[in-house]
Amino acid sequence: MSSRSSFRIAAGAFVLLGLLSGVAAQTAGRGDLWDTTSQSSMTMGGMSMPMPPQTHKVCALKTWTRPPVASNRDMNCTISDFATAEQRVTWTSVCTGQMPMTGKGEIVRQGADAYAGTVKYTFAEGGMTVAISGRKVGECDNPQ
């Protein structure tokens, strides 16, 4: 093989790799946009206090590595033990903000475009259950 042929093959491979990496970058930056709703009910001292529902838009990875739910940065929560089994997703959440708490979450997917579930938190003064639901409404950039 001549050096000219080797150069052409190498140049062609370089161009092809450049094109493929551009496609991968475009795909990696796209996620699914979800309309999410959460409603909390806190239990303290034997009394239950329901909170009004909250809605948010969440840009999530197309293949979930964490639940596609809104998070409160002030709570400083980390997600661990994230697992998917068919249509069921589970995880553990540990929050170290002003009100430290731990939680167990579960989502059941309802097809590719919807889900419903709960997160049950415990903290020193009581507990909180958060009912969550989501509906996919499109695509988005920069999923979290």
Contacts 24+ apart (CB under 8 A), 138-142: 138/32, 138/33, 139/30, 139/31, 139/32, 139/33, 140/30, 140/31, 140/32, 140/33, 140/59, 141/29, 141/30, 141/31, 141/59, 142/29, 142/31, 142/59
Number of structural domains the chain divides into = 1
In this prediction, what percent of the chain has a pLDDT beyond 90?
62
Range of the domain at 64: 30-141
- Write the CATH number for 86: 2.40.160
Residue 68 lies in a domain: yes
Q: Higher model confidence: residue 116 or residue 18?
A: 116
Residue 100 lies in a domain: yes
Query: pTM of the full predicted structure?
Result: 0.75
Residue 21 lies in a domain: no
Residue 61 lies in a domain: yes
Q: Residues 67-75: what's their mean pLDDT?
A: 83
Strand pairing category for 126-141 and 114-123: antiparallel
Residue 126 lies in a domain: yes
pLDDT at residue 28, rounded to an integer: 55
Residue 41 lies in a domain: yes
Helix (H, G, I), strand (E, B) or coil at 1: coil
Residue 6 lies in a domain: no
Q: Higher model confidence: residue 8 or residue 34?
A: 34
